[in-house]
Structure 1
Amino acid sequence: MFAFIARQPILDKSKSVFAYELLFRDGKAGAYPEHNEEKAKYISEHFHPLGLDDISGEKTSFITFSSDTLISRFPTTLNPESVVVELADPTENTSGLFEACQHIKQLGFKLAIDDPMMVGATHDIFPLIDIVKVDVTKTRFETIEKHIPRYHDANVQLVAEQVDTQDNFSTCVDLGFDFFQGYFFSQPEARILRQLPASKMNIVDLMGESSNNNFNIERISHIIERDATLSFLLLKFINNPTINKRYKITSLKHALNYMGEVEIKKFIALLSLTNLGDDKPLEIIHMSLVRAKFFDLLAERRGIKNNPPISFLVGLFSLLEGLLDQSMTDILKQLPLSDEVNDALLGKNLELNSYMTLVRAFESALWMNVIKQAKVLNIDQKQLHMLYNQAIVWGNGVRSAISSHYPRATA
C-alpha cells in the first residue's frame, strides 16, 4: 500500500523503461515506510492507496529498505519477480544484516546497492549483490572506467544515476553501464532550427484543432480519416478500459456523442503527440500523459474552465523540446496552437507555472516543493498526492493502448 510516492524511470540502452525506482515520502531518505496499523488504515480509507501494479505497471520496482526493515520487518507480500531490494546503507555493520540479505536472496529477490565511489568489492556483502548504482556526478569517469571490468567479471549489472543529458547517456553507454537513471531522455539531443517534416502536417493540424475554441467535427474527421494509423489509434485509445469501460466506440462521430467535445479534444491532442514523437523513447510520452492528466485534475480542483482543455494541453505538450530537439520558442512558431497555450508553454501563465513546479517536484521527490505549492494552490498536500496517483494510473492505462504501436526508440 503506497499513497505518498514518487517514481523515477530506469532505462536500458535502447531507452526503454527497465524499472522504476520508488521514493517514499514517509520513509527516511525515500526508503520503504513502516506505517503503523492506524496510519495504514487511515491512508486506505482516505487516499485510495496504490499497489505496485498501479505505480510501476508491468515494470520492475526498485525499493530501498533500511537495515532494520530487512532484518526484522521485511514485507512478505512483495513479489521477487517484480521487486529489486535496494540496501539503504550496505556498509552498516548491523548485526544480522548479512544473514537477512542471504535470506532475501533465497526468497528470489535481487539485491542492489548505491555505490557512488565504486568500492563495493571491498564490502562483505558484495558477493550477494546483483546490481550496483553509481552516481556519475560524484565519481570521475576515469575511476568508473578503471573499476567497471571487475563488476562485469562478477556478473553485477550497473546503473548510472543522475544521467541528465544526452551526452552523459552516450558516455555512460560507452563506459559499459547497463541501465540509466535520470531525465536525459526528455532533453533535446541538439537544438536545431528545422521545419517539421511534411509527413507530420496531419498531426500539426490535429494539435491546432485540440486548442481551438471552435470545434469542427467534419474537419477533424477528415484529418483522421485520411490517415489509417490515426484512425486505428484513436479508436484504440477511446476503447481502452482505463478510459471507457462501458461502450464499444466505432467512429469519431460516435465518440463525440458518447464522450463530448472536451474529451475528444484531449484525445486528438494525445493522438497527435504520440505520432509527433514516434522516434523518441516511449517514456517521454508516458511522462507527458501523466503531466496532462495531473494538470487537468488540478484545474478541475481549482474550478478553472476546461474548453478548450488548456491545462491538459499544456501538461501534454510540456516536453516538446525533448520530443523535437528544438527550443520551445522555435517549436511554437510551427504549431497552430492558441495564444493561451503558447503563453503557458513559454512560462507566462502563473497558475500553470505552479502546476509545472509541482509536477517536477513529484517527479523528483522534492517534498518541500510539494508542500510549498500546496499552499500556493490552496490544496491539501495529501490531496495533491491523490491527484498525482490518479494521473499515474491513467497514464499507465493509456500507455498500454499505445505501446504495441510505438516503435523502439533510436539509441
Structure 2
Amino acid sequence: MFAFIARQPILDREKDVFAYELLFRDGKGGAYPELEPEKAKYIAQHFHPLGLDDISGEKQSFIHFNPDTLISRFPTSLNPESVIVQLNEPNAPTPGLLEACTHIKDLGFKLAIDDPLMLSGKQDIFSLIDIVKVDVTRTNYDLIEKNIPRYIDSNIKLVAEQVNTHEDFDSCRSLGFDFFQGYFFAMPEARIQRHLPASKMNLVDLMGESARSDFNLNRINQIIERDAALSFLLLKFINNPAINKRYKITSLKHALTYMGEVEIKKFIALLSLANLSDDKPLELIHMSLVRAKFFDLLSQQRGVHLNPPIGFLIGLFSLLDALLDQDMPDVLKQLPLTDEVNDALLGKSDEFNSYISLSRAFEGALWMNIIKQSKALDFDQKQLHMMYNQAIQWGNGVRSTISAYFPKPVIR
C-alpha cells in the first residue's frame, strides 16, 4: 500500500526496462516507509494507494530498506519474485544485519547494495550480494575499471547510477555494466540534422489534426486509410481496457459515437507519437504517456484548454526532442501544431511550465519541488500524488497495448 511515491527506471543493455527503483516520500532517505497504523488506514481510505503491480507493472521493483527494518520489521507481504531488496552503503555490517540478509536471501529475495566505494570481496556480506549499484558520478573511474572483473567473475550484476547522457551510457556499457539508471534515454542524441522521412508524414498529419479545435472525421479517415497498420493500431488502442472498458469499438466513426471528440483526439495523438520514432526505448514513450495523462488531469481540474485537449497533447509531446534527436524548435518547425501547443513546448507558458516542473519532480523524487509547485498551482499536494498515481496506472495499461507492436531500439 503506497500513496506517496516516485519511481525511476533501470534499463538493460538493450535499453529495455529491467526494473524500477521505488522512492518513498514517507520513508527515511526514500526507504520503505514504516507507517503508523492510523496513517496507513487514512491513506488507504482517502488516496487510492497503489500496489506494487500498479506502480511497476510487470517489472521488478528495487526497494531500499533501512537496516532496522531488515533486522526486525521486514514486511512479509512482499513477493520475492517481484521485489529486489536494496541496502545502501553496507560498509561493516553488524552481525544482526548479516543474519537478516541471510534470512531474506533464504526467502528467495535478491539482494542489491548501493556501494560507491566498490565493496571489498573480503567482507562477509559479499557472498550474499546479487546486484551492486555504483554511482558513476561519485566513484573513481579507475576504481570502477579495476573492480568490475571481480564482480563479473562472481556472477554479480552491476547497475550504473546517474547515467544522464548517451555518452555515459556508452561508456558504462563498454565497461561491462549490466543495467543503467538515469534519464539518458530522455535526452536527444547528437546527430546530423535531419528532416522527418516521407514515410512518417501520415503520422505528422494526424498529430496536427489532434491539435485542431474542429474535428473533421472524413479528413482523419483519409489519413488513416493510407496506412492499414495505423487503422489496426488505433482500434487496438481504443479497445484497450485501460482506455475503454465499456464497448467493443469497430471503427473510427463508431469510436467517435461512444467516446466523443476529445478522447478520440487524444488517442490519435498517442497513436502518432508511438509510431513516429521507431528506434527509441519504449520507456521514453511510457514517460510521455504518464506526462500526457498527468497534464490532462491537471488541465481538467483547473479548467484549462479542454477541447482540443491541450494539456494531454503538451504532456505527450514534451519529449519530442529526445524521440527525434533534434532541438525542440527544429522539431516544431516540421509539425502542424497550433501556436498554443508550440509556445508551451518552447517554455513560453507559465501554466504548462509548472506542469513540466511537477512531472520532473515526480520522476526525480524531488519532494520539495512538488510542494513548491502545489502552492503555485493552488493544489493540495496529496491530490497531486493521487493524480500522478492515476497517470502511472493509465500509462501502464496503454504501454501493454503498445509494446507488442513497438520495434526494439537499435543500439548504436
TM-score class, shorter: over 0.9
Answer with 96-105 or 84-93: which moved more: 84-93
* 115-124 or 33-42, which deviates more: 115-124
1:220-255 superposed Cα distances (whole Å, 9 cap, x missing partner): 011112211111111111101111111100000000
Gap change, CA 1:93 and 1:262, over 3 Å in 2: same
What residue is the counterpart of 2:68 in the other structure?
Answer: 68
Runs of 4+ in 1 over 4 A off after TM superposition: none
2:329 maps to which residue?
329
Cα offset, 1:95, TM superposition: 4.5
User: CA 1:92/1:68 → structure 2, altered by over 3 Å: closer, same or farther?
Assistant: farther
Name 1:293's counterpart in structure 2. 293
What CA distance in whole angstroms lies between the structure 2 residues aligned with 1:89 and 1:37? 29
SS of aligned partner of 2:84: strand
Could you list the runs of 5+ residues in structure 1 that have no partner in the other structure?
Answer: none
SS of match in other structure, 1:159: strand
Aligned to 1:225: 225
Counterparts of 1:123 and 1:366 in 2: how far apart (Å)? 34
Q: What secondary structure sits across from 2:124 in the alignment?
A: coil
Q: Which residue of 2 aligns with 1:24?
A: 24
The alpha-carbon deviation at position 93 of structure 1 amounts to 3.9
Q: What is the CA distance between 1:142 and its match in structure 2?
A: 2.3
Deviations 1:155-202 (A, max 9, x none): 100000000000110011100000000001111111532110000000
Displacement of 1:8 after TM fit?
0.2
Aligned to 1:195: 195
Q: Deviations over 1:315-345 (max 9, x none)?
A: 0000011100000010000000000000000
Query: Offset at 1:408?
Result: 1.1
Partner of 1:404: 404
Q: How many residues align?
A: 411
TM-score by length of 2: 0.98
The answer to whether the Cα contact below 8 Å between 2:89 and 2:116 also exists between their aligned partners in 1 is: no
1:204 is the counterpart of 2:204: yes
TM-score by length of structure 1 reads: 0.99
Amino acid at match of 1:30: G
Q: Aligned ranges for residues 1-80 of structure 1 at < 5 Å?
A: 1-80=1-80
Choose 156-165 or 222-231, whichever is displaced more: 222-231
CA distance in 1, matches of 2:139, 2:93: 24
Q: Give the share of equivalent positions with the same residue, in percent.
A: 74
Contact 1:192 1:325 in 2 (8 A): no
Q: Which amino acid aligns with 1:46?
A: H
Once the 2 structures are TM-superposed, how far is the Cα of residue 140 of structure 1 from its aligned partner? 2.7
Query: What RMSD, in angstroms, separates the aligned Cα atoms of the two structures?
Result: 1.0
Q: Distance in 2 between matches of 1:237 and 1:168?
A: 35
Report what 1:359 is aligned to: 359
The answer for the alignment partner of 2:166 in structure 1 is: 166
CA 1:35–1:141 in structure 2 vs 1: closer, same or farther (change >3 Å)?
same
1:111-160 per-residue CA deviation (whole Å, 9 max, x = no partner) reads 00001121342432111000000001112322211110000111100000
Are the counterparts in 2 of residues 66 and 89 from structure 1 also a CA contact under 8 Å? no
What code does the residue aligned with 1:14 have?
E
